[in-house]
Amino acid sequence: MFKQYFPIFKNQEDLVYLDSAATTLKPAVLLQSLEGYYENYTANVHRGLYPNAEKVTEEFDQARTVVANLINANSNEIVFTHNATDALNTIALALDSQQLQGRKVLISESEHHSNLVVWQEFAKRNKLELCIVEYAENWEQDLLDQIDDSVALLGLSLMSNVTGLRPQSLDKIMKKASGSKVITVLDACQSIVHQQDDVKALNCDFLVFSAHKLYGPTGLGILYIKSNLMQLLNPVRFGGGMVEDVQRSQSSYLEGPMKFEAGTPNIAAVLAFAKVLEFLREISFEKIYIYELELAKYLHQQLSQLSGFKVLGGLQSVRTLYALDFDMVHSHDLAYGLGMKNICVRAGQHCTNPLHASLDSRASLRVSLGMYNTCEDIDKFVLELKKVLNFFKK
């Protein structure tokens, strides 16, 4: 339905791309924007007074507004980073200088390593206890039970990159965290491409995601910082672009998001991502979501007819991402065999080693959907998967 917008399929007509959770394919509008910037009006941002520089600065500042509108934030609450991991590190470094209420950092066992290792190190530096809620049937209730005024910070993903599931008790979790004055950091990397959360409704303090998982360019992360914290926190990287005035003995820094954007940003990526978001809005995020949901139902139906594997997180609910662990064949072998047919899936532990250990899985085969997928893609995946399984079972 949407394949015509993605040039890669013109170059690889037989491509079946089912690895969108790792990175999405890129629409023509992205490539056109990158080419346009580099070929027609390359200039640095917030630097020059000549026409090209003024055009770049105007588009860059407008891009911040476009991104803010995606999650119902204000433009002065959006920081451009190198990626989502960089955004999480920026949060942790900025919070180092704060006297946090509480003595614990609370996260779930299903977090991506980026939302785990950052807080491991943060807890060590600040002499806090890192509490990891085990992934089990009632893990959300266990998380809720642990939220109190002893918790300084809560890190939570809005959608697991292994189970494909969203926290069902998110509203309760956020409400209790707010009532206990817990700083909340939400990882929207997997969720943002399917459902765009409203940061004001969530009442979160921080939210991060990567452009490349939302049909945008690589090398660009988005960091939302609630306005009161934006004013409170100090910059963590220093140099050009974030200074207001520099003297021999001391310097003063800009206010707002630019104080966290030292040096020349990834200008081309920022401009291109704004074009991608405008393109997706023209199609309608709701229309894309409905289409992906229908695909997810079809994938769920096809997987339900197979046997000899377990689904991490269970097969009870319909979603756009499944991680499969087969009884007799390692996921790496399956992924390689499928790759020989130009079917792209991910195999391994997907940067979630603790979760895989908890679920007694050495590795899993992950299939994830994007707006360019079709029922024919799913049929080909299932057909070739059966062939590869039979090959290795012989």
Question: Residues with catalytic annotation?
Answer: 351
> Where do the H-state alpha helices sit in the chain?
8-11, 28-40, 51-70, 84-95, 114-125, 139-146, 170-179, 199-202, 227-232, 267-283, 285-304, 331-339, 353-358, 375-393
Q: How far apart are CA 68 and CA 224, in angstroms?
A: 8
Which residues pair with residue 324 across a beta bridge?
311, 365
**Strand, coil or helix: 168:** coil
Report angle CA 195, 196, 201 to the nearest 5 degrees.
Answer: 115
Cα 344 to chain centroid, rounded: 20
Residue 56 near residue 294, CB atoms below 8 Å: no
| The pair of three-digit structure tokens given for residue 1, joined into one six-digit string | 């339905």
233 secondary structure, DSSP code = P
Residue 381 phi/psi, 5° resolution?
Answer: -60, -50
Which residues pair with residue 186 across a beta bridge?
156, 207
Which residues pair with residue 368 across a beta bridge?
19, 321
Nearest to 2 by CA among 213, 291, 264, 203: 291
Which residues pair with residue 346 across a beta bridge?
366
Q: How far apart are CA 293 and CA 351, in angstroms?
A: 25
Question: Residue type for 256, please?
Answer: G
Residues 6+ apart with CB under 8 A from 57: 45, 46, 47
| The pair of three-digit structure tokens given for residue 175, joined into one six-digit string | 């409400």
Nearest to 327 by CA among 347, 343, 299, 307: 307
